[in-house]
Structure 1
């Protein structure tokens, strides 16, 4: 009992610090909470346990982001094939997150972080022609779901795909909120189906909501005072280094 209490007393400050930082990044950049949280939590717990901790704060912050504008209905009509792909891929891919040795699922998480940071640092200007959108979106959704299910990271290739649709700024923010919300719900369903998301984890996950929201509020204030471009460069460089550490861990 004493060991468990000591472990809990250490875990709670770590969770608070992790989600405060992840929320701060989301407040400044409009995204990044799941990515930062998974990367940091994956350093001291298995990716499956980290994904379970992510569910409630990710859901709350992304629903907030989704509902912060008027385009929800229009985006749902346009993006529902992609969302279905995300659900199918995430529920199927979550078997990898739960069943694979944590060392190797940590490697997959590290590769996903490196891939996202590398892509975002290069930031190529892509555009999806309307004629290929009907069949490309479901494929992108399915691939995003598989990556989400296997690593707990929601961004590849959903974020580049949504950016390539050339939505206006407010619609893009809402579209990202929609994609991340669907990914969160599907990940929770996949983890529950494989017995990796239990009642006690949902309680700990709920405790992370307050620091995540506090971090978001602070991040929004910081965004008004510093260059978002400079912050984004530091954030992506941090993700790149964190991803490399996770990816190289099985080799040492």
Structure 2
């Protein structure tokens, strides 16, 4: 308990409120559209703390919610058979990227995070639906995995280009949700390894991250409730617009 509370005593009441409310919002977004927890949390917390510190806080809630998403659907074996080259390269790319640059490599990391968020938002708002032929997955999957891994290592955001790639594979809705869970789970575990390597994921950080699980799960429950009552399309447009504005702000910082 001391490890859990010590971090929040150090950062003060205002920043503690920001952390907990951020994970409540991030969990709500994930509950509505099935993704966005690390994106929202890294984006908002990146305004007030070092990216490595923000990334350490998201490890526990991201791992738990991603395992939850991964376990549901009944398509795991087929998805692993199809996506293992991409998944392997995500893990390898994240580890190599962590050793090469790391998420706390300097002020440019904040701008890189902003660029990742802005790119993600613009893809979500404007990129038309497209399909990747099955015969191209042999090289496109690993290439996507490496790029996703490096972006994850540098920014803590693991949606670009993994999410657009998976959306282009022609998966069913249930398969896509589970495939995203698989990709995010591997990304989170690899990111945790990189943070541990750089000394950013000790007992205090893990304890602080454990506490953020509570608002994240509460947000997911709220998001699932909202999903039945609002237009998913309208919500996505508002979400991506917000991410674009946040990314633009982060690009001017650092």
TM-score range, shorter chain: over 0.9
- Pairwise CA RMSD of aligned residues? 1.6
Residue of structure 2 equivalent to 1:31: 35
Which of 203, 206, 209 aligns to 2:207? It is 203
Which of 102, 107, 121 aligns to 1:97? It is 102
Which of 217, 231, 236 aligns to 1:213? It is 217
Report runs of 4+ in structure 1 exceeding 3 Å deviation. 8-11
Are the aligned partners of 1:98 and 1:196 in contact in 2 as well (CA < 8 Å)?
no
Q: Distance in 2 between matches of 1:174 and 1:18?
A: 25
For residues 181-234 of structure 1, what are the alpha-carbon distances to aligned partners after superposition, in whole Å with 9 as ceiling and x for unaligned?
A: 000000000111121211100000010111001001001111111111111111
Are the aligned partners of 2:94 and 2:194 in contact in 1 as well (CA < 8 Å)?
yes
TM-score by length of structure 1 reads 0.95
Residue of structure 1 equivalent to 2:24: 20
Are the aligned partners of 2:51 and 2:104 in contact in 1 as well (CA < 8 Å)?
no
Are the aligned partners of 1:90 and 1:183 in contact in 2 as well (CA < 8 Å)?
yes
Q: Distance in 1 between matches of 2:108 and 2:138?
A: 35
Are the aligned partners of 2:103 and 2:155 in contact in 1 as well (CA < 8 Å)?
no
Quote how far apart the aligned CAs of 1:144 are.
0.4
Corresponding residue pairs, total: 248
Q: Distance in 2 between matches of 1:38 and 1:135?
A: 30
Any gaps of 5 or more consecutive residues in structure 2?
Answer: 1-5
Residue of structure 2 equivalent to 1:46: 50
TM-score by length of structure 2 reads 0.94
Q: Distance in 2 between matches of 1:49 and 1:91?
A: 18
Quote how far apart the aligned CAs of 1:36 are.
0.4
Are the aligned partners of 1:148 and 1:183 in contact in 2 as well (CA < 8 Å)?
yes
Which of 209, 229, 247 aligns to 1:243? It is 247
Which of 75, 82, 104 aligns to 1:78? It is 82
> Secondary structure of 2:94's partner?
helix
Q: Distance in 2 between matches of 1:126 and 1:98?
A: 31
